[in-house]
Amino acid sequence: MIIKYSDIEKALEYFENKQFSDKSEKEILNRFPVVMSYLTSNQFSVLSDDEYMILSFNILILLKILLDTGKDQSDISDELIELNETKNWEKLENTENIPFKEKVFILFEEKNKDLAEFILSGFEDEEDDDDDVEISLPAQEIIFITVKTIFDCFND
């Protein structure tokens, strides 16, 4: 599956029109109960509130795109998520001595560079000149691996 910037823009527009309400988030997440369960697991408690918000935002955009493309979600299971997550952490570890940004592009490959750029843009707060919101490198890795894992679950 290839996700283009136009797909991301449509998803962003959808949430913008719904004003990113809890209702619009739940509308999407309720369609993906296994993903919702994964996102509410304890493993993400290491993230700050801001970091978790970025993670949730990225996942919601991805899920909206998947809904729009009609991707089958019946095969998604906890086991598939765990398998893809392990595989992605291993791939990330095998790209040592490379800047994080390059790692993201390597793992998403050229065909999904738009999605990689979108994820990376979430780590830079262009609207806020204050450095109040700082996303640590470990948090960036967790966010990236989580989005890549969910993406791969629908791409296998």
The mean pLDDT values, 10 residues at a time, for the chain of 156 residues are: 93 81 76 90 92 93 89 80 95 89 90 94 66 80 95 85
pTM here is 0.88
pLDDT of residue 123: 86
| pLDDT of the residue at 20 | 63
User: Residue 113, class by beta-carbon neighbours within 10 Å (0-12 exposed, 13-18 middle, 19+ buried)?
Assistant: middle
Whether the Cβ atoms of residue 28 and residue 63 lie closer than 8 Å to each other: yes
Tokens of 50: 């801001």
Say what the pLDDT of residue 31 is: 86
The pLDDT assigned to 83 comes to: 96
* Contacts for 3 with CB less than 8 Å, ≥ 6 apart: 62, 65, 112, 114, 115, 151
The answer to whether 151 and 114 are in contact (CB under 8 A) is no
DSSP alpha helix (H) spans, the chain: 5-17, 22-29, 33-39, 49-69, 78-93, 100-108, 113-121, 137-155
Q: What is the pLDDT of residue 11?
A: 92
> Residue 116 in contact with residue 51, Cβ under 8 Å?
no
